Structure 1
Amino acid sequence: MENEKRKKLSTEEIGAINRDIIQKHGEGTSQILQALKGERYDGLGNDIGHRGRSLEEISNYKISDKYRETNIKQQSGFSAELIKESRDNSEAIKNGNKIRTRTTDGIGETNNQKHDHYKIDELGNITEGSQMKFYSSPEDLVKKLSDKKWSKYADSPIDVPTEQVEEIKRIAREEVEKLRTQAKMAKSRGDIHLYEKKLDEAKALENIEKNVRDSGVTREEAIEARVSPNKFVAKEVLKESHAAGKSAAKGAMILSGAISFGQNAY
């Protein structure tokens, strides 16, 4: 009788774990579906509003026959913003984190020149603003960001394609070394104006290396989402479903092991 009671208890607890996992992964999976359709809902199903783009809408943007590849690459940056938003929120939901990522145009800041994303707490307070830059060439991005007119990004995280992070940081470090060497040479010649100029440029590049981070999205993924959003979203959903299955199996295994250990110890 006692064994049956323990068995029933463990079955109920495993069922509770699975329900929690299904709930979290289900809500997490809904994030990419919302990005596809241009809708936003909270965990209770309340419409929280979205004024920005959708993956479907971006896929229908006009492209020139002559510049098709270039147009698609440029437009894929918009898709990348939505993918990052959905993935960030999916992870937050599964980890029980109340912070949510929103695109700035999604909350109505269409002309925000400094930030593409905000981190927003459960009270609606903005805790972080970040910029997203998807360039074909890491060299081009470093060159752009080191220009004075891009100094507005100096104090903000800059999200870049996953595969470019280390390359961008390497290029920035090498450029900093070159500029510092040039600054020393200028100082030795007594050219203080050039010395200070080179040091300012080196500082700007140091900020780039410090602020650049992994967006969690590759350029290949962004392009696929631009060209075939339904296919991309289907793959995301399948990936999430697989992860949910693994989490459920792991949770059940851990609980079963703990109960077995407890029973034996008792």
Structure 2
Amino acid sequence: MTKKNHFPENMKKSRFESLLDGAILGAANDPVGRYGDAVKEHLYVYTGTDAENHAMDLKKGLRDIGEHKINPEYAEQNLKQQSGFSAELKYQARKNAEYRINGDKRRIVATDLKNSGGYDELFDHYETKDGRIVSMMQMKFVGNDVKSCVDKLMSGDYQKYIDNGADFTLPSDYFQTDENGVPKIQSELDKRIDKLQKQIDSGKCQDDVVKQKSEQIDKLKKLKSRVKDSGISKDDAVFAREHPFLSTAADVVKLSNRAGLEQAKNAAVIGGSVAVIKNICEYYRGNIDGKDAVCDIAKTTGKAAAGGYAVGFFGSALKGTMQNSGKDVLRNLSKTNLPAAMVNMTLEAGKSLHAYLNGTINGAECLERMGQSGFSMVVASMSATVGQVVIPIPIVGAVIGSALGYALSSACYGCLVSSLKDAKLSRENRIRIERECQEHIKFIRQCREELEKYFDDRLNFYKQAFYEGFTEISRACDTGDYDGFIGACNKLNSKMGGKNIQFSNTREFDELMNSDEAFDL
């Protein structure tokens, strides 16, 4: 009997899942960083502008060369020459990209810089390490085939390059291997050396001829040690000249794909390892059977690898773009793990929107989940950078820092949202109470107005009664009118509500005093 699987899909991530997401994001710090640097090299060569160091700006980038006009009368010659310039830039970009990916400190520097003071006729590139020149190169896309290329290089026009120690970077077409697995140009040089050596060894040559042939052999041997594969074919060079943007985009896509594959492996290892541990624990607790455990491991590993590929692919492209941006803030952010986090946030937002459109969650939950993912990813990206500095072991430091940052930020976000919800409820209760209070206040004011009106009316009545009564009493006192005085008092008593009036004049007062009736005060 299959036991109930206790790992249903849940829109709210557990602390365990948060740690896993943070670890995978942290692992992206290294490949995204290296391949992002490589992408930047291609963008720099395309525009001709190095946003990080304008001293390295080129006089012309691929884009500028692609806009050059071609004279119809010399179309083939113009295209060949301009393709050679494009090849020089592609060589620089590709070599530096590989150096950055591999952590190599060497760099290829074009001599045709805006601030270089002019064109160097001997060298097209310098190879530097720690700011020191270690080799000089001259790129030559000459000859229609290997033999004609060697003929050109052996001619007197190229002697100055050899004498000054230049390496020759040649089209990759000439480095295709023959039936023996030897690069064709190396094979051609060896054949010429062997041929000359046999002529010398035959003993049929005079001394001056032997000397001449020996010099040719030395020159051929120097060429053999100095010819280098540029990694660029003639077709690549022409395509870069005619379609500079597409050529650059193709190289960026290739690099991004490599970054994606590398991060997919990292994510699969992390996700798979975590899934194995999790399912083994749940299996022994009796919460899941073996079949479901295997399925969950495969599912978790596959999802981690797919997500890792997307983060590596788009993260590296985004980092390279930000790194060569004209905005300081974007260049500074490219130095963190934020590019990978932004891609991850986009993926998480897509999942949340998909769940919302399917009716799995409502709009508020969708926004809450997107907010949590965004907040957690940003904190995790910054934590990855800090972790890598604190623990300077490739990937490890970033993974630990990012995982902890993601978990802590998720927990903080949960508390923050809960507090905001409580605050929202408190605000709603306050608004409701205030509304009820307003109604009560309105009622109280109405009652008060009515009461004030009542008292005003009554007070006006009593005020008039007292005024009239005291006026009559005063007049009676002034004239000695005792009956008038008693009448005024009785009238005032009556208006004030008094009812027990025992006499209304002096005669009735005398009778009352002489009778046995009680006198009421």
Normalization by structure 2: what TM-score?
Answer: 0.45
The CA distance in 2 between the partners of 1:32 and 1:17, in whole Å, is 24
Maintained 8 Å contact 1:172/1:205: yes
Cα distance change, pair 144–262 in 1 and its aligned pair in 2 (3 A): farther
Cα distance change, pair 183–62 in 1 and its aligned pair in 2 (3 A): farther
Maintained 8 Å contact 2:44/2:50: yes
Tell whether 2:35 aligns with 1:25.
yes
* 1:153 positional shift: 3.3
Q: Deviations over 1:6-27 (max 9, x none)?
A: 6654432321121332232222
Tell whether 2:236 aligns with 1:221.
yes
Tell whether 2:171 aligns with 1:164.
no
Residue 65 of structure 1 corresponds to which residue in structure 2?
A: 72
Maintained 8 Å contact 1:101/1:120: yes
Q: CA RMSD in A?
A: 2.6
Q: Larger radius of gyration, structure 1 or 2? A: 2
The higher relative CO (CA closer than 8 Å, separation ≥ 6) is in 1
Could you list the structure 1 runs, at least 4 aligned residues long, displaced by more than 4 angstroms after superposition: 4-10, 256-264
* 1:256 positional shift: 4.2
The CA distance in 2 between the partners of 1:244 and 1:29, in whole Å, is 10
Residue 231 of structure 1 corresponds to which residue in structure 2?
A: 246
* 1:70 positional shift: 2.9
Maintained 8 Å contact 1:105/1:116: yes
The CA distance in 2 between the partners of 1:212 and 1:258, in whole Å, is 47
Residue type of the alignment partner of 2:134? T
The CA distance in 1 between the partners of 2:70 and 2:276, in whole Å, is 63
Q: Deviations over 1:151-210 (max 9, x none)?
A: 33333322111121222222211111222222234xx24610100100110111122122
Give the secondary-structure state (helix, strand or coil) at the position aligned to 2:73: coil
Residue 103 of structure 1 corresponds to which residue in structure 2?
A: 110
Maintained 8 Å contact 2:122/2:161: yes
Per mean C-alpha deviation after superposition, the further-off stretch among 78-87 and 110-119 is 110-119
Residue type of the alignment partner of 1:245? G
Maintained 8 Å contact 1:184/1:195: no
Structure 2, unmatched stretches of 5+, are: 1-13, 176-182, 280-521
Residue type of the alignment partner of 2:95? D
Maintained 8 Å contact 2:199/2:205: no
Residues 46-57 of structure 1: pairs in structure 2 closer than 5 A: 46-57=53-64
* 1:257 positional shift: 5.4
Q: Deviations over 1:101-154 (max 9, x none)?
A: 1111126164323221112234x2212212211123322221122124423333
Residue 349 of structure 2 corresponds to which residue in structure 1?
A: none
* 1:63 positional shift: 1.9
Maintained 8 Å contact 1:29/1:240: yes
Residue 34 of structure 1 corresponds to which residue in structure 2?
A: 44
Residue type of the alignment partner of 1:104? T
Maintained 8 Å contact 2:108/2:125: yes
Aligned partner of 1:147 among 128, 140, 155: 155
Give the secondary-structure state (helix, strand or coil) at the position aligned to 2:223: helix
Residue 363 of structure 2 corresponds to which residue in structure 1?
A: none
Residue 495 of structure 2 corresponds to which residue in structure 1?
A: none
Maintained 8 Å contact 1:52/1:108: no
Tell whether 2:184 aligns with 1:176.
no
Aligned residues: 257
Tell whether 2:122 aligns with 1:125.
no
Give the secondary-structure state (helix, strand or coil) at the position aligned to 1:111: coil
Residue type of the alignment partner of 2:105? K
Tell whether 2:121 aligns with 1:113.
yes
Give the secondary-structure state (helix, strand or coil) at the position aligned to 1:119: strand
Aligned partner of 1:196 among 211, 233, 240: 211
Maintained 8 Å contact 1:36/1:229: yes
Structure 1, unmatched stretches of 5+, are: none
* 1:28 positional shift: 1.3
Residue 266 of structure 2 corresponds to which residue in structure 1?
A: 251
**Identity in percent:** 29
Per mean C-alpha deviation after superposition, the further-off stretch among 254-263 and 11-20 is 254-263
The CA distance in 2 between the partners of 1:199 and 1:261, in whole Å, is 69
